[in-house]
Structure 1
Amino acid sequence: TIQDDESIKKYGLIKKIIKVDDKKQAQTAQIAKKTIQDSNKIKEKLSLTLLGDDTVRSGRVIIINDYTVDIHDKFLVTNCKHNYGVNHTMTLDLKRVEAELDTSKYKTSTTTTVTPNATNSTANATQVDAGMNALNGYESVYRDNGCVDVAVKAGSYYSPFLKQQADIGTADVDTLVNNAQNAGYKVETFNGYANKGDILVYGDNQHVVISDGAGGCFGNSTSAGHAKFYPDANYAWHNGEAPTKVIKMS
């Protein structure tokens, strides 16, 4: 089969021909528009078999640019199986990554110094949801110790401070708590209440999750092996054990 990829990229590829019923000729434009919209919808989840790449594994985000099927987006690898035979292939289960929050307006730093930016900080509920949904199912490279990795990456969608922590690679609870305090964020004893987007701390700085503002939370799960939602924050670390502190992000 001969395929002119350059022409496909420039002009597109005929993927479907639809014959419109004679009785619906007057609706041809509407039918064509609806067909194009339905064809261009990107599924939230995909399963693909591709040429193998050893750098691809569960928890990684990959970019797919395929003009033959018109997919141009970021996907989180939720499951990856490499097959080594005559040819190296990999079978991937993918979840589309939602568009990231535009952080171009945030002040950036070229050092690891924490910028004091907590004054009048508020967490946007929509952005908090976007961060948690984007990281749902994410497998941290830190495995059982990935709670901070998950929290700062999900938190980067709504908090300049948490984005900075993700960028500098903060990965342990002590460092996150200290950096938050140094940046001017309040770290208080947990009294049973937390706003959406606040960081819940368990034990003696042993675990963190993001509060959903309704009694539940989102964070890394050792038993599940990936980030997940918890309907009850008292069961996100040890069963029936409430957080001890809260980093007030709002």
Structure 2
Amino acid sequence: MLICKYTDPPLTQKEQEELQQKKNNKEPYTEPVTEMDITDFVTKFTWSGDNEQAARKLEFEIIYNTINKDEVFSILDLKIGGFIYLFYAEDENSTPVEIFEGRIFYRKRNSSSFTFSFTCYDDMVYLAKSKIQMLFDGITVTDAIKQICNEIGISIADNMPQINTVVSFIADGKSCTEVFKTLFGYTKADTTNNPNGEDYTVICLNGDVTVIKKGELIEDYVATDLTDIDSSEHSESIESMVNRIKSVDDNGNICQVFTIEDDVTHYGMIQDIYKMQPPKEGETVDNVKMAKAKLKRLQDESSLKAVGNIQCITGYTVMVQEEQLQGKFFIKSDTHNFANNIHTMDLTLEYMPETPEVAEIKQEDIATPIFNSSKKKKNSNSGNGNLNVDKGLATGFDAWGGTTMDNGRNGCAEAAGKIGSYYSPFLAEQCTNGVVGVPAMVSNAESAGLLESFSPANLEKGDVIVYGNDDHVVIYDGNGGYYGNSSSRNAVVHGRDYNSLNMTPTKIIKSSKG
């Protein structure tokens, strides 16, 4: 059995003053409704939720007859913004349990059928409709959710689970529920103990926001075709599939590619892009995990119609034993109908195997990412050439890596001078003297006795490699790669192969020696 109660919305300041004035003048007035049981006037209820829609919804209909001046109907003025509370009890001897608490958002009167219909949402609707501008700087997911709810004025459950994944990002004009999805994306990428990661969802219970984990099983209940289920359906789809992810940096350069090759072979290529997150001081950003979390495989969906159970709501998992469906199923959406003392439900389900299949993901590393947040010079001072080559190169790239040179795409000599200034007196001198042209740097190296023809056998860590007819320079990293300015990326990078620049090395400046 259901019990439905109504309370008027709070009075505005003007309404309070008008009410008090009527009282003072001893004029007729009506006190706001503080609690009214409207159960007997409701002909039917529909209580529903959907994994794609944040708020749970309650729709109900009452008889409304304006022709009949019966006092019973005159008191049923259910206002927009009014509070609705729905309780459920197994029978008259059971203690009612609150299953919905929300506000009236929509009402419509139909004069031909003498009915008044209402649509209500719980407090999650305010989080779905409200946008925020908020910085999350090294806080846990749970604390981020609390911060969001406090911003919008939504109460939080005392027993909200603690999710310790640490996040740092800016929510820029996003709805609260969009930010929740972002937070849970970080959590899923962070949870390595589960092959598919841990999924969470935010729901509103008894007026308080809390978090539940996908897979939280409804206890002591099994939906079976022998007692509960009327009918079921099952489908499979690749409409949401993503089997390749390209990770790009702030300049749009492709840095990594992740592919489920088996799915590409079977179903064709479906690709998405992941925008890599920049590292932050004192924190580790695992872009690999977050990129892989965007991959999606074959999706199955099932549905059933059954005798209603109020525990079966979106976000939880139910055990099913039926001809087509066997095992645990995540409830993606639910619709509960109450009419003529009969409770039925329609559930949309997603199968959750005991041992999820783990996809084999091919990873291709293409380039070192560059982030715009790093483009501002981290150290505007050059070195004085007094460090050894190993430490000097590391210090130089830490100071200038990811930075756009003053000479932009033509800043190769400038980059070599600035990076090399920490270990090479020659390059420190070039940097100090403002040498930014390759021909000038080569000429100065020849005068200093540091120039020789190119030979891989003579190449040492810290040497400057000259390409073509004094067209380009980079610093050799001692391991086949290089440090230097990238024209295409307009920033200082650490490349993997000095032979990959589509230019021929012609000279060496022995900056490792002087």
- Normalised to the residue count of structure 1, the TM-score between the two structures is 0.51
Aligned residues: 144
CA distance in 1 between counterparts of 2:443 and 2:414 reads 16
* Residue 192 of structure 1: aligned partner: 456
Change over 3 Å in CA distance of 1:245–1:183 after alignment to 2: same
Question: Aligned partner of 2:466: which letter?
Answer: V
Unmatched runs of 5 consecutive residues or more in structure 1? 1-44, 48-77, 81-91, 107-121
What are the within-5 Å matches in structure 2 for residues 148-227 of structure 1? 148-185=413-450, 187-193=451-457, 194-227=459-492
1:171-207 Cα shifts (integer Å, max 9, x gaps): 111100111111221x222122411110000000000
The answer (yes or no) to whether the contact 1:98–1:130 under 8 Å persists in 2 is: no
Letter in 1 for 2:505: P
RCO higher in 1 or 2 (8 Å CA, sep ≥ 6)? 1
Alpha-carbon distance in 2 for matches of 1:46, 1:134: 24
Please tell me the residue identity of whatever aligns with 2:421.
S
Shift of 1:46: 11
Q: Identify if the C-alpha distance between structure 1 residues 190 and 158 changes in structure 2 by more than 3 Å, giving closer, same or farther.
A: same
Partner of residue 506, structure 2 = 244
Alignment RMSD: 3.1
Return the match for 1:145 from 398, 406, 410.
Answer: 410
Tell me how far 1:164 sits from its aligned partner. 1.1
- Structure ranking higher in strand proportion: 2
Pick aligned residue for 2:496 from 220, 231, 237: 231
**Distance in 1 separating the partners of 2:377 and 2:495:** 20
Which residue in the other structure is 1:132 paired with? 397
Q: How far apart are the structure 1 equivalents of 2:438 and 2:469?
A: 9
Counterpart mapping for 1:80-91 below 5 A: none
Q: What is the distance in 1 between the residues matched to 2:416 and 2:454?
A: 18
Structure 2 residues without counterparts, runs of 5 or longer: 1-167, 171-370
Structure 2: how far apart are the matches of 1:79 and 1:229?
Answer: 16
Q: How is 1:85-100 mapped onto 2 (pairs within 5 angstroms)?
A: 96-97=378-379
Q: If the length of structure 2 is used for normalisation, what is the TM-score?
A: 0.26
Structure 1 pair 214–173 and aligned structure 2 pair: CA distance change class (3 A): same
**Letter aligned with residue 429 of structure 2:** Q
Q: How many Å separate the matches in 2 of 1:158 and 1:168?
A: 16
Letter of the 1:128 counterpart: L
| Shift in CA distance, 168/231, structure 1 to aligned 2, threshold 3 Å | same
Distance apart, 1:123 and its partner CA: 5.0
Contact residue 233 and residue 242 of structure 1 kept, 8 A: no
CA offset at residue 95 of structure 1?
7.3
Give 1:218 shift. 0.6
**SS of corresponding position for 2:483:** strand
Q: What is the percentage of aligned positions where both structures have the same residue?
A: 37
| Residues 139 and 226 in structure 1, CA contact (< 8 A), matched pair in contact too | yes
Q: Which protein shows a greater Rg?
A: 2
Relative to 1, partners in 2 of residues 1:200 and 1:245: Cα closer, same or farther, differing over 3 Å?
Answer: same
Distance (whole Å) between structure 1 residues aligned to residue 425 and residue 483 of structure 2: 19
Q: How does 1:19-58 map to 2 (within 5 A)?
A: none
Secondary structure of residue in 2 paired with 1:224: coil
Alignment partners' CA distance in 2, 1:142 and 1:214:
28
Matched residue, 1:112: none
Note if contact 2:452-2:507 (Cα within 8 Å) is conserved in structure 1.
Answer: yes
Partner amino acid for 1:190? Answer: F
Runs of 4+ residues over 4 Å off in structure 1: 92-101
Match of 1:6 in 2: none
Q: Name the CA shift for 1:207/1:161 in 2 (closer, same or farther; >3 Å).
A: same
Distance verdict in 2 for CA 1:157–1:228, change over 3 Å: same
1:112-144, CA deviations, whole angstroms, 9 ceiling, x for partnerless residues? Answer: xxxxxxxxxx95211122112221111012112
User: Secondary structure of the residue that 2:489 maps to in structure 1?
Assistant: coil
Over 3 Å counting, the alpha-carbon distance change for 1:143 and 1:46 in structure 2 is farther
User: Alpha-carbon deviation of 1:153?
Assistant: 0.6
Q: 1:177 to 1:99 in 2, by over 3 A?
A: closer
Q: 8 Å contact 2:377–2:400 — kept in the other structure?
A: no
- Tell me the SS of whatever aligns to 1:244: strand
Distance in 2 (alpha carbons) for counterparts of 1:156 and 1:143: 19
Aligned partner of residue 234 in structure 1, secondary structure: coil
Structure 2 SS opposite 1:154? helix
Is contact 1:180–1:247 with CA below 8 Å preserved after alignment?
Answer: yes
